[in-house]
Structure 1
Amino acid sequence: MKKVLLSATMVLVGASLVACSADKHADNLAKIEDKGKIVVAMSPEFAPFEFKTLVKGKDTIVGADVELAKAIGEELKVDVEFSAMSFDNVLASLKSGKADIAISGISATKERQKAYDFSDSYYESKNVIMVQKAKTQDYKGFKDFDNQAVVVQKGSIQEKIAKDNFKGANITPLTKVGEMVTEVSNGKAQALVLEEAIAKGYAEKNKNLAISTIELPSDDADAYAIAMPKGSKKLTKKVNEVIKSLKKEDKINTFVQEAYDLSVKE
Protein backbone atom coordinates (compact mmCIF):
# COMPACT_ATOMS: atom_id res chain seq x y z
CA MET A 1 0.00 0.00 0.00
CA LYS A 2 2.86 2.34 0.90
CA LYS A 3 4.50 1.65 -2.48
CA VAL A 4 1.26 2.47 -4.28
CA LEU A 5 0.84 5.72 -2.34
CA LEU A 6 4.51 6.67 -2.88
CA SER A 7 4.20 5.99 -6.60
CA ALA A 8 1.03 8.04 -6.85
CA THR A 9 2.64 10.90 -4.91
CA MET A 10 5.68 10.91 -7.18
CA VAL A 11 3.43 11.04 -10.25
CA LEU A 12 1.54 14.01 -8.81
CA VAL A 13 4.76 15.82 -7.87
CA GLY A 14 6.20 15.18 -11.32
CA ALA A 15 3.04 16.46 -12.99
CA SER A 16 3.11 19.52 -10.75
CA LEU A 17 6.71 20.31 -11.69
CA VAL A 18 5.93 20.00 -15.39
CA ALA A 19 2.88 22.23 -14.98
CA CYS A 20 4.93 24.84 -13.09
CA SER A 21 7.57 24.78 -15.79
CA ALA A 22 4.96 25.14 -18.52
CA ASP A 23 3.20 27.96 -16.65
CA LYS A 24 6.39 29.91 -15.93
CA HIS A 25 5.93 32.12 -18.99
CA ALA A 26 2.35 31.10 -19.83
CA ASP A 27 0.93 34.56 -19.23
CA ASN A 28 3.76 37.07 -19.17
CA LEU A 29 1.31 39.71 -20.33
CA ALA A 30 -0.76 39.38 -17.15
CA LYS A 31 2.38 39.49 -14.98
CA ILE A 32 3.53 42.69 -16.67
CA GLU A 33 0.10 44.28 -16.30
CA ASP A 34 -0.11 43.22 -12.63
CA LYS A 35 3.21 44.83 -11.71
CA GLY A 36 2.46 47.86 -13.90
CA LYS A 37 5.90 47.78 -15.48
CA ILE A 38 7.71 46.15 -18.39
CA VAL A 39 11.49 45.64 -18.03
CA VAL A 40 13.37 45.95 -21.32
CA ALA A 41 16.87 44.51 -21.71
CA MET A 42 19.18 46.30 -24.13
CA SER A 43 22.82 47.06 -24.83
CA PRO A 44 22.96 50.86 -25.24
CA GLU A 45 25.84 51.24 -27.67
CA PHE A 46 24.05 50.64 -30.97
CA ALA A 47 23.33 54.17 -32.14
CA PRO A 48 20.87 54.95 -33.61
CA PHE A 49 18.93 52.03 -32.10
CA GLU A 50 20.01 52.44 -28.48
CA PHE A 51 22.72 54.64 -27.02
CA LYS A 52 23.34 56.92 -24.05
CA THR A 53 23.26 60.69 -24.09
CA LEU A 54 22.72 63.51 -21.62
CA VAL A 55 19.09 64.59 -21.31
CA LYS A 56 18.64 67.55 -18.94
CA GLY A 57 22.01 66.70 -17.43
CA LYS A 58 21.09 63.05 -16.82
CA ASP A 59 22.71 60.05 -18.53
CA THR A 60 19.78 58.59 -20.50
CA ILE A 61 19.27 55.69 -22.91
CA VAL A 62 17.72 56.93 -26.16
CA GLY A 63 17.24 55.62 -29.71
CA ALA A 64 14.83 54.00 -32.13
CA ASP A 65 14.48 50.81 -30.05
CA VAL A 66 13.78 52.94 -26.98
CA GLU A 67 10.89 54.65 -28.78
CA LEU A 68 9.59 51.25 -29.86
CA ALA A 69 9.67 50.02 -26.26
CA LYS A 70 7.85 53.14 -25.10
CA ALA A 71 5.11 52.51 -27.69
CA ILE A 72 4.71 48.97 -26.32
CA GLY A 73 4.49 50.29 -22.77
CA GLU A 74 1.88 52.83 -23.86
CA GLU A 75 -0.20 50.10 -25.51
CA LEU A 76 0.00 47.91 -22.39
CA LYS A 77 -0.61 50.95 -20.15
CA VAL A 78 2.46 50.19 -18.03
CA ASP A 79 5.71 51.97 -17.17
CA VAL A 80 8.86 51.08 -19.12
CA GLU A 81 12.11 50.30 -17.32
CA PHE A 82 15.31 49.95 -19.36
CA SER A 83 17.95 47.55 -18.11
CA ALA A 84 21.38 48.23 -19.67
CA MET A 85 23.85 45.36 -20.10
CA SER A 86 26.40 43.91 -22.51
CA PHE A 87 24.88 42.44 -25.67
CA ASP A 88 25.90 38.86 -24.83
CA ASN A 89 23.77 39.09 -21.66
CA VAL A 90 20.66 40.60 -23.24
CA LEU A 91 18.98 37.32 -24.20
CA ALA A 92 20.17 35.54 -21.06
CA SER A 93 18.29 38.12 -18.97
CA LEU A 94 15.02 36.76 -20.37
CA LYS A 95 15.76 33.24 -19.15
CA SER A 96 16.79 34.48 -15.72
CA GLY A 97 13.62 36.56 -15.41
CA LYS A 98 15.52 39.83 -15.03
CA ALA A 99 13.78 41.27 -18.10
CA ASP A 100 10.37 40.82 -19.76
CA ILE A 101 11.47 41.59 -23.32
CA ALA A 102 14.74 42.29 -25.13
CA ILE A 103 15.09 44.98 -27.80
CA SER A 104 18.65 45.52 -28.93
CA GLY A 105 19.01 45.09 -32.68
CA ILE A 106 18.39 41.36 -32.23
CA SER A 107 18.16 39.04 -35.23
CA ALA A 108 15.68 36.18 -34.87
CA THR A 109 17.95 33.37 -36.06
CA LYS A 110 16.65 29.79 -36.21
CA GLU A 111 18.95 28.85 -33.35
CA ARG A 112 17.64 31.66 -31.15
CA GLN A 113 14.04 30.78 -31.99
CA LYS A 114 14.54 27.42 -30.31
CA ALA A 115 15.09 29.16 -26.98
CA TYR A 116 13.02 32.36 -27.26
CA ASP A 117 9.83 33.71 -28.75
CA PHE A 118 10.19 36.55 -31.25
CA SER A 119 7.91 39.26 -32.55
CA ASP A 120 7.41 40.03 -36.22
CA SER A 121 10.41 41.88 -37.64
CA TYR A 122 10.30 45.64 -37.18
CA TYR A 123 13.40 46.71 -39.13
CA GLU A 124 15.25 45.25 -42.11
CA SER A 125 18.93 45.67 -41.41
CA LYS A 126 21.95 45.57 -43.71
CA ASN A 127 25.40 44.61 -42.50
CA VAL A 128 28.53 46.34 -43.78
CA ILE A 129 32.30 46.26 -43.36
CA MET A 130 34.17 49.24 -41.90
CA VAL A 131 37.86 49.90 -42.63
CA GLN A 132 40.24 52.82 -42.45
CA LYS A 133 39.26 55.34 -45.13
CA ALA A 134 42.82 55.52 -46.49
CA LYS A 135 42.77 51.78 -47.13
CA THR A 136 39.35 51.31 -48.76
CA GLN A 137 40.95 50.66 -52.17
CA ASP A 138 43.20 47.97 -50.69
CA TYR A 139 40.22 45.72 -49.95
CA LYS A 140 38.27 44.47 -52.96
CA GLY A 141 37.25 41.02 -51.67
CA PHE A 142 37.18 38.87 -48.53
CA LYS A 143 40.51 37.21 -49.38
CA ASP A 144 42.22 40.57 -49.01
CA PHE A 145 41.64 40.16 -45.26
CA ASP A 146 43.43 36.81 -45.03
CA ASN A 147 45.72 36.70 -41.98
CA GLN A 148 44.41 40.08 -40.88
CA ALA A 149 42.34 41.03 -37.81
CA VAL A 150 38.58 41.47 -38.12
CA VAL A 151 36.67 42.49 -34.99
CA VAL A 152 33.00 41.77 -34.24
CA GLN A 153 30.71 42.09 -31.25
CA LYS A 154 30.60 39.00 -29.07
CA GLY A 155 27.33 37.06 -29.35
CA SER A 156 26.01 39.14 -32.27
CA ILE A 157 24.76 37.97 -35.66
CA GLN A 158 27.71 39.90 -37.13
CA GLU A 159 30.07 37.46 -35.42
CA LYS A 160 28.56 34.58 -37.40
CA ILE A 161 28.51 36.64 -40.62
CA ALA A 162 32.21 37.42 -40.24
CA LYS A 163 33.13 33.78 -39.61
CA ASP A 164 31.10 32.70 -42.66
CA ASN A 165 32.73 35.19 -45.03
CA PHE A 166 36.21 36.06 -43.75
CA LYS A 167 37.52 32.48 -43.97
CA GLY A 168 41.20 33.37 -43.81
CA ALA A 169 40.98 36.27 -41.35
CA ASN A 170 41.60 36.29 -37.61
CA ILE A 171 38.14 36.95 -36.13
CA THR A 172 38.22 38.56 -32.69
CA PRO A 173 34.94 38.99 -30.73
CA LEU A 174 34.87 42.04 -28.43
CA THR A 175 32.24 43.09 -25.90
CA LYS A 176 31.76 46.75 -26.83
CA VAL A 177 31.19 48.35 -30.23
CA GLY A 178 33.23 51.40 -29.23
CA GLU A 179 36.19 49.15 -28.55
CA MET A 180 35.82 47.60 -32.02
CA VAL A 181 35.81 51.02 -33.67
CA THR A 182 38.93 52.06 -31.74
CA GLU A 183 40.76 48.89 -32.78
CA VAL A 184 40.20 49.64 -36.49
CA SER A 185 40.78 53.36 -36.10
CA ASN A 186 44.21 52.85 -34.53
CA GLY A 187 45.18 50.06 -36.94
CA LYS A 188 45.22 47.18 -34.45
CA ALA A 189 42.43 45.55 -36.50
CA GLN A 190 41.82 45.97 -40.22
CA ALA A 191 38.03 45.69 -40.33
CA LEU A 192 34.84 45.38 -38.32
CA VAL A 193 31.33 44.24 -39.21
CA LEU A 194 28.33 46.37 -38.17
CA GLU A 195 24.74 47.11 -39.12
CA GLU A 196 24.70 49.88 -41.74
CA ALA A 197 22.82 52.56 -39.77
CA ILE A 198 25.17 52.04 -36.81
CA ALA A 199 28.26 52.07 -39.05
CA LYS A 200 27.20 55.34 -40.70
CA GLY A 201 26.98 57.00 -37.31
CA TYR A 202 30.49 55.89 -36.33
CA ALA A 203 31.88 56.88 -39.75
CA GLU A 204 30.38 60.35 -39.28
CA LYS A 205 32.20 60.75 -35.97
CA ASN A 206 35.45 59.05 -37.02
CA LYS A 207 36.61 60.72 -40.22
CA ASN A 208 39.44 58.22 -40.73
CA LEU A 209 36.92 55.36 -41.08
CA ALA A 210 34.69 54.43 -44.02
CA ILE A 211 32.28 51.74 -45.13
CA SER A 212 33.91 49.29 -47.54
CA THR A 213 32.48 48.71 -51.02
CA ILE A 214 32.60 44.93 -50.38
CA GLU A 215 29.02 43.65 -50.14
CA LEU A 216 28.07 41.19 -47.43
CA PRO A 217 25.46 38.56 -48.39
CA SER A 218 21.98 39.35 -47.08
CA ASP A 219 20.02 36.87 -45.00
CA ASP A 220 16.50 36.55 -43.55
CA ALA A 221 18.12 36.76 -40.10
CA ASP A 222 19.24 40.34 -40.87
CA ALA A 223 15.80 41.62 -39.81
CA TYR A 224 15.45 42.86 -36.22
CA ALA A 225 12.79 41.49 -33.88
CA ILE A 226 11.86 41.70 -30.19
CA ALA A 227 12.78 38.69 -28.07
CA MET A 228 10.63 37.28 -25.27
CA PRO A 229 10.78 34.21 -23.01
CA LYS A 230 9.57 31.01 -24.65
CA GLY A 231 5.82 30.62 -24.25
CA SER A 232 4.94 34.34 -24.35
CA LYS A 233 1.99 33.86 -26.71
CA LYS A 234 -0.28 36.64 -25.41
CA LEU A 235 2.56 39.11 -25.01
CA THR A 236 3.86 38.38 -28.51
CA LYS A 237 0.42 39.06 -29.96
CA LYS A 238 0.24 42.46 -28.27
CA VAL A 239 3.78 43.39 -29.30
CA ASN A 240 3.04 42.43 -32.91
CA GLU A 241 -0.02 44.70 -32.89
CA VAL A 242 2.19 47.63 -31.88
CA ILE A 243 4.80 46.83 -34.53
CA LYS A 244 2.13 46.52 -37.24
CA SER A 245 0.64 49.89 -36.31
CA LEU A 246 4.02 51.66 -36.20
CA LYS A 247 5.14 50.18 -39.53
CA LYS A 248 1.86 51.16 -41.16
CA GLU A 249 2.47 54.77 -40.16
CA ASP A 250 6.19 54.51 -41.07
CA LYS A 251 7.05 55.58 -37.54
CA ILE A 252 9.90 53.11 -37.04
CA ASN A 253 11.87 54.57 -39.95
CA THR A 254 11.17 58.00 -38.44
CA PHE A 255 12.49 56.77 -35.07
CA VAL A 256 15.68 55.53 -36.75
CA GLN A 257 16.27 58.75 -38.69
CA GLU A 258 15.62 61.02 -35.69
CA ALA A 259 17.88 58.92 -33.48
CA TYR A 260 20.60 58.90 -36.16
CA ASP A 261 20.45 62.71 -36.42
CA LEU A 262 20.79 62.94 -32.64
CA SER A 263 23.68 60.46 -32.48
CA VAL A 264 25.86 62.28 -35.02
CA LYS A 265 25.38 65.63 -33.27
CA GLU A 266 27.07 64.38 -30.10
Structure 2
Amino acid sequence: MKKWLSVTVIGLLTAGALAACGAGEGASNGGGGSEDAKVLKMGTSADYPPFEYIDTAKGDSEPVGFDIDLAKAIGKELGYEVQVVDMEFGSLIPSLQSKKVDFVLAGMTPTEERKKNIDFSDVYYEAKNVLVSKKDEPINSIEELNGKTVGVQTASIQEDEAKTLSEEVDIKIESRDRIPQLIQEMKSNRIDVAIIEDTVAKGYVAKDDTLQLVETGREDSNKGSAIAFPKDSKLTDEFNKELQEMKESGELEELIVKWFDSKE
Protein backbone atom coordinates (compact mmCIF):
# COMPACT_ATOMS: atom_id res chain seq x y z
CA MET A 1 0.00 0.00 0.00
CA LYS A 2 2.75 2.39 0.97
CA LYS A 3 4.66 1.54 -2.22
CA TRP A 4 1.52 2.21 -4.31
CA LEU A 5 0.97 5.54 -2.56
CA SER A 6 4.61 6.46 -3.07
CA VAL A 7 4.47 5.72 -6.78
CA THR A 8 1.22 7.67 -7.12
CA VAL A 9 2.64 10.73 -5.33
CA ILE A 10 5.80 10.65 -7.43
CA GLY A 11 3.66 10.42 -10.58
CA LEU A 12 1.57 13.40 -9.52
CA LEU A 13 4.64 15.45 -8.63
CA THR A 14 6.26 14.62 -11.95
CA ALA A 15 3.13 15.64 -13.89
CA GLY A 16 2.96 18.87 -11.92
CA ALA A 17 6.61 19.63 -12.61
CA LEU A 18 6.15 19.03 -16.33
CA ALA A 19 3.11 21.28 -16.40
CA ALA A 20 5.03 23.98 -14.59
CA CYS A 21 7.87 23.72 -17.10
CA GLY A 22 5.43 24.14 -19.97
CA ALA A 23 3.80 27.18 -18.39
CA GLY A 24 7.16 28.76 -17.72
CA GLU A 25 8.34 28.84 -21.34
CA GLY A 26 8.85 32.26 -22.88
CA ALA A 27 6.34 34.18 -24.94
CA SER A 28 8.18 33.33 -28.13
CA ASN A 29 7.31 29.91 -29.48
CA GLY A 30 9.13 29.80 -32.76
CA GLY A 31 7.55 32.68 -34.63
CA GLY A 32 3.91 32.12 -33.82
CA GLY A 33 3.53 33.88 -30.49
CA SER A 34 2.04 32.37 -27.36
CA GLU A 35 -1.60 31.37 -27.71
CA ASP A 36 -2.01 31.44 -23.90
CA ALA A 37 -0.15 34.61 -22.98
CA LYS A 38 -0.90 36.33 -26.35
CA VAL A 39 2.47 38.06 -26.17
CA LEU A 40 4.91 38.69 -29.02
CA LYS A 41 8.54 39.62 -28.48
CA MET A 42 9.78 42.27 -30.88
CA GLY A 43 13.50 42.67 -31.46
CA THR A 44 14.84 46.14 -32.27
CA SER A 45 17.94 48.32 -31.99
CA ALA A 46 16.87 51.51 -30.22
CA ASP A 47 19.53 53.82 -31.63
CA TYR A 48 17.70 54.75 -34.81
CA PRO A 49 15.43 57.78 -34.28
CA PRO A 50 12.70 58.28 -35.28
CA PHE A 51 12.22 54.56 -36.04
CA GLU A 52 13.21 53.43 -32.54
CA TYR A 53 15.13 55.17 -29.78
CA ILE A 54 15.13 55.90 -26.07
CA ASP A 55 14.20 59.52 -25.38
CA THR A 56 16.57 60.21 -22.49
CA ALA A 57 15.69 63.91 -22.62
CA LYS A 58 12.22 62.98 -21.39
CA GLY A 59 13.58 60.52 -18.88
CA ASP A 60 12.27 57.51 -20.82
CA SER A 61 13.80 54.10 -20.30
CA GLU A 62 11.69 52.21 -22.85
CA PRO A 63 12.11 52.54 -26.64
CA VAL A 64 9.68 54.75 -28.54
CA GLY A 65 9.32 55.64 -32.21
CA PHE A 66 7.61 54.86 -35.50
CA ASP A 67 8.44 51.15 -35.51
CA ILE A 68 7.28 50.78 -31.90
CA ASP A 69 3.93 52.42 -32.64
CA LEU A 70 3.54 50.34 -35.81
CA ALA A 71 4.24 47.08 -34.00
CA LYS A 72 1.84 47.85 -31.18
CA ALA A 73 -0.91 48.93 -33.60
CA ILE A 74 -0.62 45.66 -35.54
CA GLY A 75 -0.31 43.62 -32.36
CA LYS A 76 -3.47 45.19 -30.95
CA GLU A 77 -5.46 44.30 -34.06
CA LEU A 78 -4.18 40.72 -33.91
CA GLY A 79 -4.87 40.42 -30.20
CA TYR A 80 -1.26 40.38 -28.99
CA GLU A 81 0.66 42.39 -26.44
CA VAL A 82 4.02 43.43 -27.91
CA GLN A 83 7.11 43.32 -25.68
CA VAL A 84 10.07 45.27 -27.07
CA VAL A 85 13.55 43.76 -26.68
CA ASP A 86 16.41 46.22 -27.35
CA MET A 87 19.69 44.82 -28.68
CA GLU A 88 22.51 45.61 -31.07
CA PHE A 89 21.50 45.60 -34.73
CA GLY A 90 23.91 42.78 -35.55
CA SER A 91 22.15 40.52 -33.04
CA LEU A 92 18.67 40.89 -34.52
CA ILE A 93 18.76 38.22 -37.22
CA PRO A 94 20.51 35.64 -34.98
CA SER A 95 17.83 36.31 -32.33
CA LEU A 96 15.12 35.56 -34.90
CA GLN A 97 16.84 32.38 -35.98
CA SER A 98 17.27 31.18 -32.40
CA LYS A 99 13.63 32.11 -31.66
CA LYS A 100 14.51 34.54 -28.87
CA VAL A 101 12.16 37.04 -30.51
CA ASP A 102 9.06 36.55 -32.67
CA PHE A 103 9.73 39.36 -35.14
CA VAL A 104 12.05 42.29 -35.78
CA LEU A 105 11.07 45.88 -36.52
CA ALA A 106 14.20 47.99 -36.86
CA GLY A 107 14.17 49.85 -40.16
CA MET A 108 15.57 46.68 -41.74
CA THR A 109 15.94 46.37 -45.51
CA PRO A 110 14.78 43.07 -47.05
CA THR A 111 17.91 42.21 -49.05
CA GLU A 112 18.23 39.00 -51.05
CA GLU A 113 21.04 37.86 -48.75
CA ARG A 114 18.88 38.29 -45.64
CA LYS A 115 15.95 36.52 -47.30
CA LYS A 116 18.03 33.35 -47.38
CA ASN A 117 17.75 33.13 -43.60
CA ILE A 118 14.56 34.99 -42.62
CA ASP A 119 11.24 36.10 -44.09
CA PHE A 120 10.00 39.66 -44.57
CA SER A 121 6.69 41.48 -44.70
CA ASP A 122 5.82 43.91 -47.44
CA VAL A 123 7.85 47.15 -47.38
CA TYR A 124 6.24 49.66 -45.04
CA TYR A 125 8.56 52.67 -45.53
CA GLU A 126 10.86 53.90 -48.31
CA ALA A 127 14.14 55.70 -47.60
CA LYS A 128 17.64 56.24 -49.01
CA ASN A 129 21.19 56.47 -47.71
CA VAL A 130 23.15 59.73 -47.34
CA LEU A 131 26.66 60.83 -46.39
CA VAL A 132 27.00 62.57 -43.01
CA SER A 133 30.17 64.56 -42.31
CA LYS A 134 31.37 67.55 -40.33
CA LYS A 135 30.66 70.97 -41.86
CA ASP A 136 34.25 72.11 -41.33
CA GLU A 137 35.53 68.99 -43.14
CA PRO A 138 32.70 68.29 -45.58
CA ILE A 139 32.33 65.28 -47.85
CA ASN A 140 30.05 66.32 -50.70
CA SER A 141 30.30 63.47 -53.19
CA ILE A 142 31.28 59.84 -53.67
CA GLU A 143 34.49 60.97 -55.39
CA GLU A 144 35.53 62.89 -52.26
CA LEU A 145 35.44 59.65 -50.26
CA ASN A 146 38.74 58.61 -51.85
CA GLY A 147 41.31 58.02 -49.10
CA LYS A 148 38.74 58.56 -46.34
CA THR A 149 37.54 56.42 -43.44
CA VAL A 150 33.83 55.62 -43.73
CA GLY A 151 31.75 54.63 -40.71
CA VAL A 152 28.73 52.33 -40.90
CA GLN A 153 26.52 50.38 -38.52
CA THR A 154 27.50 46.73 -38.11
CA ALA A 155 25.45 44.27 -40.19
CA SER A 156 23.45 47.11 -41.78
CA ILE A 157 22.55 47.76 -45.40
CA GLN A 158 24.86 50.78 -45.14
CA GLU A 159 27.75 48.43 -44.41
CA ASP A 160 26.91 46.57 -47.62
CA GLU A 161 26.84 49.84 -49.56
CA ALA A 162 30.23 50.86 -48.18
CA LYS A 163 31.69 47.55 -49.35
CA THR A 164 30.27 48.21 -52.83
CA LEU A 165 31.72 51.73 -52.80
CA SER A 166 35.13 50.34 -51.85
CA GLU A 167 35.25 48.76 -55.30
CA GLU A 168 34.97 52.23 -56.86
CA VAL A 169 36.97 54.46 -54.50
CA ASP A 170 39.77 53.86 -52.01
CA ILE A 171 38.10 53.90 -48.58
CA LYS A 172 38.66 52.32 -45.19
CA ILE A 173 35.47 50.95 -43.60
CA GLU A 174 34.89 51.13 -39.84
CA SER A 175 31.84 49.42 -38.34
CA ARG A 176 30.19 50.27 -35.02
CA ASP A 177 27.21 48.69 -33.23
CA ARG A 178 25.24 51.91 -32.69
CA ILE A 179 24.58 55.07 -34.73
CA PRO A 180 25.57 57.44 -31.85
CA GLN A 181 28.96 55.72 -31.82
CA LEU A 182 29.43 56.69 -35.47
CA ILE A 183 28.62 60.31 -34.72
CA GLN A 184 31.03 60.37 -31.78
CA GLU A 185 33.79 58.72 -33.81
CA MET A 186 33.34 61.40 -36.47
CA LYS A 187 33.48 64.23 -33.96
CA SER A 188 36.61 62.64 -32.46
CA ASN A 189 38.21 62.52 -35.93
CA ARG A 190 38.47 58.72 -36.00
CA ILE A 191 36.23 58.51 -39.06
CA ASP A 192 35.69 61.09 -41.80
CA VAL A 193 32.13 60.35 -42.86
CA ALA A 194 29.24 58.03 -42.05
CA ILE A 195 26.69 56.42 -44.33
CA ILE A 196 23.28 56.63 -42.63
CA GLU A 197 19.66 56.36 -43.73
CA ASP A 198 18.34 59.82 -44.65
CA THR A 199 15.44 59.95 -42.21
CA VAL A 200 17.70 59.01 -39.31
CA ALA A 201 20.52 61.29 -40.48
CA LYS A 202 18.18 64.31 -40.61
CA GLY A 203 17.39 63.84 -36.95
CA TYR A 204 21.06 63.90 -35.92
CA VAL A 205 21.91 66.84 -38.19
CA ALA A 206 18.94 68.84 -36.88
CA LYS A 207 20.26 68.48 -33.33
CA ASP A 208 23.91 69.21 -34.18
CA ASP A 209 24.75 72.20 -36.37
CA THR A 210 28.34 70.98 -36.81
CA LEU A 211 27.10 68.18 -39.06
CA GLN A 212 25.84 68.11 -42.64
CA LEU A 213 24.36 65.52 -44.97
CA VAL A 214 24.41 65.07 -48.72
CA GLU A 215 22.75 62.48 -50.94
CA THR A 216 25.01 59.90 -52.53
CA GLY A 217 23.42 60.37 -55.93
CA ARG A 218 23.26 56.60 -56.36
CA GLU A 219 19.99 54.95 -57.37
CA ASP A 220 20.85 51.85 -55.37
CA SER A 221 20.88 53.99 -52.23
CA ASN A 222 17.08 53.95 -52.30
CA LYS A 223 16.00 51.35 -49.77
CA GLY A 224 12.83 50.14 -48.11
CA SER A 225 12.12 48.89 -44.58
CA ALA A 226 10.17 45.72 -43.80
CA ILE A 227 9.27 43.58 -40.79
CA ALA A 228 11.42 40.45 -40.34
CA PHE A 229 10.22 37.03 -39.18
CA PRO A 230 11.68 33.55 -38.72
CA LYS A 231 11.36 31.35 -41.81
CA ASP A 232 7.79 30.13 -42.41
CA SER A 233 6.31 32.11 -39.52
CA LYS A 234 2.51 32.38 -39.65
CA LEU A 235 2.92 35.97 -38.48
CA THR A 236 4.22 37.10 -41.89
CA ASP A 237 0.81 36.80 -43.58
CA GLU A 238 -1.02 38.11 -40.53
CA PHE A 239 1.16 41.23 -40.34
CA ASN A 240 0.94 41.80 -44.10
CA LYS A 241 -2.86 41.76 -43.90
CA GLU A 242 -2.81 44.38 -41.14
CA LEU A 243 -0.22 46.49 -42.96
CA GLN A 244 -2.43 46.56 -46.06
CA GLU A 245 -5.43 47.58 -44.00
CA MET A 246 -3.41 50.35 -42.31
CA LYS A 247 -2.33 51.63 -45.73
CA GLU A 248 -5.89 51.63 -47.05
CA SER A 249 -7.35 53.29 -43.96
CA GLY A 250 -4.67 55.99 -43.81
CA GLU A 251 -3.48 54.86 -40.37
CA LEU A 252 0.03 54.10 -41.65
CA GLU A 253 0.27 57.55 -43.25
CA GLU A 254 -0.78 59.12 -39.93
CA LEU A 255 2.12 57.37 -38.19
CA ILE A 256 4.52 58.54 -40.91
CA VAL A 257 3.36 62.13 -40.48
CA LYS A 258 3.64 61.84 -36.70
CA TRP A 259 7.21 60.54 -36.68
CA PHE A 260 8.80 61.82 -39.88
CA ASP A 261 7.20 65.02 -41.16
CA SER A 262 7.77 66.76 -37.84
CA LYS A 263 11.46 65.83 -37.97
CA GLU A 264 12.20 67.48 -41.29
* Equivalent in the alignment of 1:196: 198
C-alpha separation in 2, matches of 1:201 and 1:235: 31
Amino acid at match of 2:217: E
SS at match of 2:55: strand
**1:159 equivalent in structure 2:** 159
Share of identical aligned residues, percent? 31
Q: Does 1:111 align with 2:117?
A: no
CA-to-aligned-CA distance 1:80-126 (integer Å, 9 cap, x gap): 10000000001111111110000001111111111111101101111
Is the CA contact 2:134–2:186 (under 8 Å) kept in the aligned structure 1? yes
Q: 1:181 aligned to 180, 183, 193, which one?
A: 183
Q: 1:88 corresponds to which residue?
A: 90
Contact 2:42 2:101 in 1 (8 A): yes
Q: TM-score, normalised by structure 1?
A: 0.81
For the aligned residues, what is the CA RMSD?
Answer: 2.2
Q: Which amino acid aligns with 2:118?
A: Y
- Is 2:129–2:221's contact at 8 Å kept on the other side of the alignment? no
Aligned-residue offset at 1:251: 3.2
Equivalence for 2:63 = 61
Q: Which has the larger radius of gyration?
A: 2
Asked whether the 8 Å contact 2:54–2:60 carries over to 1, the reply is: no
Gaps of 5+ in 2: 1-28
Aligned to 1:212, the other structure's residue is in SS state: strand
In 2: Cα distance, 1:161 partner to 1:236 partner = 27
Aligned residue in 2 for 1:5: none
Q: Which structure has greater helix proportion?
A: 1
Give the 3 Å change call, closer, same or farther, for CA 219–169 of structure 1 in structure 2.
closer
- Give the drift of 1:162: 1.3
Return 5+ residue gaps in structure 1 as ranges. Answer: 1-23
Question: Which residue is equivalent to 2:10?
Answer: none
Equivalent residue, structure 2, for 1:44: 46
Contact 1:201 1:260 in 2 (8 A): no
Given residue 122 of structure 2, which amino acid in structure 1 is its aligned partner?
D
Conserved 8 A contact 2:129-2:215 = no
Cα deviations by residue, 1:10-42 (Å, 9 ceiling, x for unpaired): xxxxxxxxxxxxxx85xx43x433331000000
Q: Deviations over 1:188-245 (max 9, x none)?
A: 211101111100000011110011254233367x11111101011x311110011112
What's the counterpart of residue 207 of structure 1?
209
Q: Aligned letter for 2:123?
A: S
Distance 1:228 1:113 in 2: 10
- How far apart are residue 261 of structure 1 and its match? 7.2
CA distance in structure 2 between the partners assigned to 1:209 and 1:248 by the alignment: 38
Match of 2:254 in 1: 254
List structure 1 segments (4+ residues) > 6 angstroms apart after TM superposition.
261-264
Which residue of the partner structure matches residue 143 of structure 2? 143
Q: Pick 1 or 2: higher relative contact order, CA cutoff 8 A, min separation 6.
A: 1
Question: Does 120-129 or 50-59 show the bigger shift?
Answer: 50-59
